[in-house]
């Protein structure tokens, strides 16, 4: 038995050596393990959201654009502390740009295009925000008030009316995501972080994923850029690889985004699907080939 165990460990040793020396494989291994831990934690605590969202990863496009895996992060406690709202639940599905050995690394290392200002995928993410308030009221939307002015209007249920987008609350989600979950880990202070967005187009209601009642937002963003020289803490770079750009760390960059939002009254859950990139064509392609092929169950 001891001999078999030794042989097995010797067999695994080269495998782990390859993973440790390859930023891409290390990221795949780390995020796969993290996904399993998230599922176990959710199952153990029993706080399963009443909606399941499946978003295709980068391998679905067969292009050098996005990482193969879409990951999950339960941000309940952190978002409650940050927003000051008790009992609110936030689950984030996210994916980031693919790896490239030809990125902006002075040392020739391998990391995600997330750190490469020359790439159209610089500073980019796509995924989903799933939000549920403790009292079941919509996050990011306002339900219109009923007006009992005549017999017809009194027969209309408020839950059947189209919710109105709350732009301030909707914007807080990507703001929180970039500031607290990305740039704080890279060492950028809250005071130095910058996030602004300008809505260029808003359409409602629109049909998306075969479901009606969505609100679609197209926006331009001014955001702190991810290019920088890595800080000492290695953990924030496990998914993305290690950047080594000392020229203009965290220089503000112009970005583009699309956001699809809908409140599901029967589930008391708000869902936002999003794509943000430094090239508007990258946003369009992400919407066309990935986001729009998501599945909700």
**pLDDT tens-digit map of 167-223:** 999 999 999 999 999 999 999 999 999 999 999 999 999 999 999 999 999 999 999
φ and ψ at residue 104, rounded to 5 degrees? -85, 40
Cα distance between residue 69 and residue 26, in whole Å:
13
| pTM, entire model | 0.84
Cα distance between residue 204 and residue 170, in whole Å:
15
- Tokens coding 217: 């937002």
Cα distance between residue 242 and residue 109, in whole Å:
8
Cα distance between residue 139 and residue 165, in whole Å:
9
Cβ 112 vs Cβ 95: under 8 Å: no
Closest CA to 72 of 44, 46, 48: 48
Per-residue model confidence (pLDDT) at position 143: 82
Cα distance between residue 268 and residue 117, in whole Å:
40
Q: What is the pLDDT along the chain (297 residues), one digit of tens a residue?
A: 444 444 333 343 444 444 445 666 766 766 766 566 666 555 555 567 789 999 999 989 988 899 999 999 999 999 999 999 999 999 999 999 998 755 444 434 578 999 999 999 999 999 999 999 999 999 999 987 754 444 444 444 444 567 899 999 999 999 999 999 999 999 999 999 999 999 999 999 999 999 999 999 999 999 999 999 887 777 788 889 888 776 788 999 999 999 999 999 999 999 999 999 999 999 999 999 999 999 999
Cβ 99 vs Cβ 63: under 8 Å: no
């Amino acid at each position: 038995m001891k001999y078999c165990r030794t042989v097995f460990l010797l067999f695994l040793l080269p495998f782990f050596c390859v993973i440790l020396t390859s930023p891409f494989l290390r990221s795949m291994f780390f995020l796969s393990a993290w996904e399993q831990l998230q599922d176990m934690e959710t199952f153990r605590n029993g706080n399963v959201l009443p909606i399941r969202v499946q978003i295709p990863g980068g391998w679905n496009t067969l292009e050098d654009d996005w990482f193969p895996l879409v990951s999950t992060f339960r941000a309940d406690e952190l978002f409650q502390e940050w927003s000051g709202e008790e009992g609110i639940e936030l689950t984030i599905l996210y994916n980031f740009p693919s790896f490239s050995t030809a990125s902006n690394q002075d040392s020739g290392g391998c990391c995600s295009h997330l750190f490469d200002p020359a790439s159209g995928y610089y500073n980019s993410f796509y995924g989903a925000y799933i939000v549920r308030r403790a009292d079941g009221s919509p996050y990011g939307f306002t339900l219109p008030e009923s007006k009992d002015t005549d017999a017809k209007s009194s027969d209309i249920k408020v839950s059947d009316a189209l919710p109105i987008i709350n732009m301030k609350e909707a914007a807080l989600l990507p703001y929180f995501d970039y500031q607290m979950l990305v740039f704080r880990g890279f060492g950028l202070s809250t005071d130095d972080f910058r996030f602004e967005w300008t809505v260029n187009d808003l359409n409602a209601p629109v049909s998306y994923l075969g479901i009606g009642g969505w609100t679609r937002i197209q926006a331009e963003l001014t955001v702190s850029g991810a290019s920088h020289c890595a800080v000492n803490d290695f953990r924030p770079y496990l998914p993305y690889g290690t950047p080594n750009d000392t020229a203009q760390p965290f220089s503000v960059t112009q970005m583009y985004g699309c956001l699809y939002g809908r409140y599901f009254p029967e589930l008391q859950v708000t869902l936002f699907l999003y794509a943000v990139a430094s090239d508007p064509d990258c946003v369009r392609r992400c919407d066309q080939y990935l986001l729009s092929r998501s599945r909700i169950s």
